[in-house]
Amino acid sequence: MKFTKTLIAASLAVMSADTFAAAFQLAEQNASGLGRAYAGEAAVADDASVVARNPALMSVFKEQQLSVAGIAVVPDVSLRGTEASNASVNPGQLNDSSIAPAAFVPAGYFVMPIDDKFAVGFGAFSNFGLATEFDADYPAGQLAGETEIVTVNMNVSGSYKINEQFSVGLGLNYIYADAKIIRNFGANPLGLPAQTQAVHLEGDDYGFGWNVGGMYQLDENSRFGFNYRSETDITFEGEFSSQLPVGLGVGSGGASLPGRVEITLPAIAEFSGSHQLDEKAGLHYSVMWTGWSSFQNLQADVDGRDEPGFSKNENFSNAMRYSIGGDYQFNEAVLLRAGLAYDESPADKNHMSISIPDTDRFWYSFGVNYTMSDQANLDIGMSILRGKTQNFTESDDQGQQWGFESKGHAYLFGAQYNYTF
């Protein structure tokens, strides 16, 4: 089924990405931080992307700056079948070497100082995104199919410099979100074709949120920062359909019905420190908390129906991210970066899912900043993400058991252009 998307969704649809921070959270708001595994993001004022991670840092800027970034996400998420209660299915038929498509995540920012106290900023970026795809005739189709969540965050922020040590910032956010859920019937005891669509729902919505930040300049070489981003409630309004016969579960005989999916995008809090150790070397670190306990269930409701068209218990828990990184001024034009990070998964070990695959993961990151002129510089960054191997089982609506071994890795490549006016 189709629905009319707004222009902003069409132009930024490439922001669909596999889940390479915890769950379907995206860390990729810039390419400068990518090179140090996003360590110190709430304290380091590299460029105009501070709009996304701590608006209080805009008080550091003396001139206007524009930053434009793009990050390519190359996933390596695979499944190996270990169990199939349906006797007609060999567990090897569940194997899939690539359930997540490659993606491109763009972002853009502008910071403008007003005077020595006030600054304003604007940003377009994404904090959340997910895409997983399985073949239409995948045996465990009721668990797989297609799952996609796209978000675009449009932000306007302001900062105020209280004194030489303290600055504060406030941001208002308009979040556009787009979702698609497709589930096929898969192998089943009823003799229906595996590719029969049991659930097809697409919808979009928008919501509003806010973020607040603070910055403390201990001395000329040390800075601390904090940022909090609020929850945002999203109700994806769209069309639901099912190829199943009317009267069989959620069947609509192919007819379209109004439907919706309600989710709460979680709150995020980050504390960071940044220290210039000497004329060449800097040390940066961050601790990030994400309130994933707000995401307990993924459910599609259909108008006029008591039973949901689709429901999956996720039972997420709050999760932490820890990162440390550094940079080194190699010469006047080249700044080198490196970093490590550890992402906790919010997924409940008893509710693992192949539609939103997740695991604890490590980041190994490298980057470089090249000064092109007094006004322009270029950031290049890359990260290698390594996830743990997971073994779990899922049950579908027919009571069939499916066992999996999942592996989730990824490679991120980013570039960013910064220009000072």
**What pLDDT score does 297 carry?**
76
Averaged pLDDT, 78-83: 92
For tokens 């996003």, the residue is: 38
State how beta strands 268-276 and 146-161 pair: unpaired
What pLDDT is recorded for position 169? Answer: 98
DSSP letter string, 103-128: EEEEEEEEEEE-SSSEEEEEEEE-SB
Query: What is the pLDDT confidence band of residue 38, given thresholds at 50, 70 and 90?
Result: very high
List the one residue out of 117, 127, 166 whose CA is nearest residue 38: 127
Helix (H, G, I), strand (E, B) or coil at 245: coil
- CA pair distance 222, 328, nearest whole angstrom: 16
pLDDT at position 26 is 82
- Look at residue 403 in the predicted model and tell me its pLDDT: 93
CB 266 within 8 A of CB 294: yes
Residue 87 has pLDDT above 70, yes or no: yes
Q: What is the dihedral of CA 117, 378, 326, 23, to 10 degrees?
A: 90
Report the SS3 class of residue 82: strand
Q: Over range 55-82, report the average pLDDT.
A: 94
Mean pLDDT value across residues 388-413: 89
For the chain, the C-alpha Rg in angstroms (whole number) is 23
Contact 201, 218 (CB under 8 A): no
- Determine which of 4-8, 245-249, 294-298, 314-318 has the lowest per-residue pLDDT on average: 4-8
Q: What is the pLDDT of residue 10?
A: 30
Query: Which pLDDT score is estimated for 13?
Result: 33
Q: CA of 271: how far to CAs of 93, 128, 287, in Å?
A: 45, 20, 5
pLDDT at 414: 97
Question: What's the CA gap between 275 and 159, in Å, rounded?
Answer: 22
Q: Which residues, 6+ apart, have CB-to-CB distance to 191 below 8 Å? A: none
Q: What is the reported pLDDT for 396? A: 86
pTM comes to 0.88
Q: What is the pLDDT of residues 324-370, one digit of tens each?
A: 999 999 999 999 999 999 999 888 777 788 877 778 899 999 999 99
According to the model, what pLDDT value does residue 70 have? Answer: 96
- pLDDT for the residue numbered 102: 86
- Average predicted confidence (pLDDT) for the chain: 88
- Spell out the domain ranges in the chain: 7-420
Sorted by sequence, the CB contacts under 8 Å of residue 399 that are 6+ apart come out as none
The whole-angstrom distance between residue 293's C-alpha and the CA centroid of its chain comes to 16
221: alpha, beta or left? (left if phi > 0; alpha if psi -120 to 50): alpha
Percent of the chain past pLDDT 90, that is, above it, reads 57
Mean pLDDT, range 291-315, rounded to an integer: 79
Coil, strand or helix at 66: strand
State pLDDT tens for residues 205-245: 999 999 999 999 999 999 999 999 999 998 888 888 888 88
Give pLDDT, residue 249. 65
pLDDT of residue 23: 54
Q: What per-residue confidence (pLDDT) applies to 17?
A: 38
**pLDDT at 260 exceeding the cut of 60:** yes
Quote the CA–CA distance of 265 and 263 in Å, as a whole number: 6
- Domain spanning 7-420, CATH architecture: Beta Barrel (2.40)
Q: Among 64, 284, 296, 268, which residue's Cα sits nearest to residue 173?
A: 268
- Residue 2 reports pLDDT greater than 50: no
Reading the block at residue 167, the tokens are: 């600055």
pLDDT in tens, 94-126: 999 888 888 899 999 999 999 999 999 999 999
Rounded CA-CA distance 9/94 in Å is: 33
**pLDDT in the model for residue 60:** 96
pLDDT at 88 over 50: yes
Residue 49's pLDDT band (boundaries 50, 70, 90)?
very high
